[in-house]
Amino acid sequence: MLATTSQLTIASHDAISTQATTAQPFKIRPFGGPLGAEISGLDLSKPLRDADFKRIHQAHLDHHVVVFRNQRITPLQQIDFSRRFGPLQIHVLHQFQLPQYPEILVVSNIIENGKPIGLGDAGHFWHSDLSYKERPSLGSLLHAQELPAEGGDTLFANMHLAWDTLPQALRNAVEGKQAEHSYLTKYAEQQKRSPWRPDLTQAQIDQVKPVTQPIVRTHPETGRKALFVSEHFTTRIVGMPEDESRLLLAQLFEHSIQPEHIYRHRWQPHDLVFWDNRSLMHLAAGTPADERRKMYRTTVEGDTPF
């Protein structure tokens, strides 16, 4: 197994942890589809043994999405748990940070006093979080605060399966190639149809300069290959004519989101969902305009893709 910064973080934590904790007899139940597992019987508001944390870490690698049920944790407890996997990344839209907790991005369609309290159209397009950064996200943790009576589901697509099942001709066309990723690709389009995309300052624009990433990336901990392109952030294939690039990316996007690659998460109160951005894309299925939805998101920094 390949070494990664998250493993170094875990090893460092193991070496310095001296707090006595009690074992929690939690269960890990795979969903039986293309990805995902439920973790029940665990209370993340309590100190977590190193051995239990290692079980969680392994489940995350094995299943790509883990769902912690009924987590009544504070924002600080979410931050502390997230940080055990690595340094946290701060989203460029500082307007939607939780007050006093810049590590938490508020994802919400709620508007109070004429202003949105969070990012209401997050996940409108298939994407992997922060793929537009030189060190994209290892994973994201989303904690349900307020759920709608209907809608609000999140879909996840297994990009390892997308690579494993990719026709040979497409494999030959993309292996070894790079693609550009940009946060601003669809930003102007989103601004036209929603109140959740404020004008960016020059300082914010400077934080999200386009980067190039491998189209096929290797997971730094498991060694598995995965497609690493998305309709939201991937703009073009480097060194390829624009029309050919557009056609090839469209084929990759279409193949990635075949039903057999997808798990649909139907949220339950106080769910904490932790997904691996190195293995997956995700999509917000949408919430009716008259329904309230509020979530808290933390994002763990990953490695430079290779």
Distance from C-alpha of 125 to C-alpha of 230, rounded to nearest angstrom: 8
93-115 in b/e form (b: 16+ CB < 10 A) is: bebbbbeebebbbbbbbbeeeee
Please tell me which residue in 63, 64, 91, 127 is annotated as part of the active site.
Answer: 127
Please tell me which residue in 63, 64, 121, 129 is annotated as part of the active site.
Answer: 129
Active site residue 297: yes
41-73 in b/e form (b: 16+ CB < 10 A) is: ebebeeebbeebbebbbebbbebbbbbbeebeb
Q: Are strands 272-276 and 65-68 parallel, antiparallel or unpaired?
A: antiparallel
Distance from C-alpha of 61 to C-alpha of 54, rounded to nearest angstrom: 11
Active site residue 129: yes
Please tell me which residue in 276, 282, 293, 303 is annotated as part of the active site.
Answer: 282
**Residue of 305, 283, 297 lying closest to 153 (CA atoms):** 283
Return the C-alpha torsion angle 230, 211, 304, 282, nearest 10. Answer: -20
Q: Per the structure block, which two tokens stand in for 16?
A: 């310095």
Cβ atoms within 10 A of the Cβ of 300, count? 25
Q: Are strands 225-227 and 234-237 parallel, antiparallel or unpaired?
A: unpaired
Please tell me which residue in 64, 265, 297, 303 is annotated as part of the active site.
Answer: 297
Q: Per the structure block, which two tokens stand in for 282?
A: 């995700």
Distance from C-alpha of 165 to C-alpha of 187, rounded to nearest angstrom: 31
Distance from C-alpha of 105 to C-alpha of 98, rounded to nearest angstrom: 6
CB 204 within 8 A of CB 156: no
Q: Give the sign of the dihedral formed by CA 190, CA 120, CA 276, CA 254.
A: negative
Active site residue 181: no
Residues annotated catalytic, as ranges: 127, 129, 282, 297
